[in-house]
Chains A and B, each alone.
Chain A
Amino acid sequence: MVKIDRINISNEGLTKFFSPIEAQIMEVLWENNEMMTAEITKQTNIPLSSVAGTLDRLVKADFAQRRVENQGQRVRYIYSATTTADNAANAITTRILDSLVDTFGAVAIENFSKYKKVK
């Protein structure tokens, strides 16, 4: 889950900020409008035993939301992302920038204005 102290900048893609399973789930939730648990396990190819706990965590952290739906006698969770991928990126960036400014103050701000991506 996105916590400043757990961000790993050496990881690839979203796994810098999420665990690999969380990242996979969030990606399919951002790509799809609404999904049932079985669809998430199918699309991510992750077993339910790993997906279920991660979904609970993502809902608790407010990255995903769910509602309960009755289909005949069956009960289903319907999941969706609480916000778009862009908005989530915005929130994560803000948190990291806040942390950098808190720690380095003017130096951090000066670096943002001079920032150029170095490959």
Chain B
Amino acid sequence: MSSIADELICYAECVNKSDLLPLISFLVVASLLLFAFYLKSKTPIQRVSSFAGAQLLMIGAIVASFSTMECSRMLTIEMYLAYVFISTGIMLFLPGSYYKILIRHHNAKPISEIVDWVDDFVNTLSEDSNVYYFDSAIPKAFASGKAIFVSIGMLELFDEQELKAVLAHEAWHLRHNNKTPILRQLSLMTFTKFRPEQELELMADRFAEKIVSKGALESARAKLI
């Protein structure tokens, strides 16, 4: 087989002629369904089982396709490699740019439009970070990728020191997340988090206390109760 088109035709013919076609179709569909479930699932057990299940079913589909090949088997291997590269790329790099989706979802705008000191303050703690605000009365702040998101409800509730404490807390998350982005993604993918969420929050609080003050952080927390 010289061209990819010929290889694809041969591939389709081999799979079509084979008795394994229903099995291969079933494995591919089931794998995609499990992968969709993986993206939606919330608990670690569901995530582990659906992710592992999807991978196993896809490998099963590839092995079954490989066994039906009567022509060059290289295409199956190439397709498998493409699958590995594409899925790994999505897993590793999509979460890093997820904040762009959040900007669109919340219709968030640069905070410099309404408060001038925030960007400078955050950049002293975490370089090349951006702070965005979004329209909601519910006091809320979170960090993702290279961005911190703050609701207007939070801006109106907190005074400058309290807001700095919250921003320092979120900036710590950015620093922590961006230190080793690939390793962090791998740890997320394989569910081997080094530290539990609670401990990370505590460390972010300690950082905010050091940068601003314990009083400001405690007063901010008291206002949220």
Given A73-B115, A75-B114, A75-B115, do A68 and B137 touch, yes or no (CB 8 Å)?
Answer: no
Residues of A contacting B115 with CB < 8 Å? 70, 73, 75
| CB–CB B156/A37 < 8 A | yes
Q: Is B157 an interface residue (CB 8 A)?
A: yes
Complex CA distance for A56 and B106, rounded to whole angstroms: 13
Given A37-B156, A52-B153, A68-B152, do A77 and B114 touch, yes or no (CB 8 Å)?
Answer: no
| CB–CB B139/A73 < 8 A | no
Binding site for A on B (CB under 8 A): 114-115, 117, 136-139, 152-153, 155-157, 159-160, 224-225
Which one of B136, B152, B153, B156 has the greatest number of beta carbons of chain A within 10 Å? B156
Q: Which residues in chain A, 29-73, are within 8 Å of chain B measured between CB atoms?
A: 36-37, 48-49, 51-53, 55-56, 66, 68, 70, 73
> What is the interface size of chain A, counting residues whose CB is below 8 A from a CB of the partner?
17
Can you show 18 pairs from A to B with CB atoms below 8 A apart? Answer: A37-B156, A49-B224, A49-B225, A51-B137, A52-B136, A52-B139, A52-B153, A53-B137, A53-B138, A55-B137, A56-B137, A56-B138, A70-B115, A73-B117, A73-B160, A74-B155, A74-B156, A77-B156
Residues of A contacting B224 with CB < 8 Å? 49
Residues of A contacting B155 with CB < 8 Å? 74-75
What distance in Å separates the Cβ of B180 from its nearest Cβ neighbour in chain A? 35
Q: Which applies to chain B's interface (DSSP): helix, strand, loop or mixed?
A: loop
Q: Which of A37, A70, A73 contacts B137 (CB 8 A)?
A: A37
Residues of A contacting B137 with CB < 8 Å? 37, 51-53, 55-56, 66, 77
Q: Is A76 an interface residue (CB 8 A)?
A: yes
Residues of A contacting B159 with CB < 8 Å? 74
Complex CA distance for A70 and B155, rounded to whole angstroms: 10
What distance in Å separates the Cβ of A26 from its nearest Cβ neighbour in chain B? 15
Complex CA distance for A48 and B154, rounded to whole angstroms: 11
Complex CA distance for A66 and B152, rounded to whole angstroms: 11
Q: Which of A49, A53, A73, A75 contacts B152 (CB 8 A)?
A: A75
Residues of B contacting A48 with CB < 8 Å? 139, 157
Complex CA distance for A36 and B137, rounded to whole angstroms: 11
Residues of B contacting A55 with CB < 8 Å? 137
Residues of B contacting A53 with CB < 8 Å? 137-138
Complex CA distance for A28 and B133, rounded to whole angstroms: 28
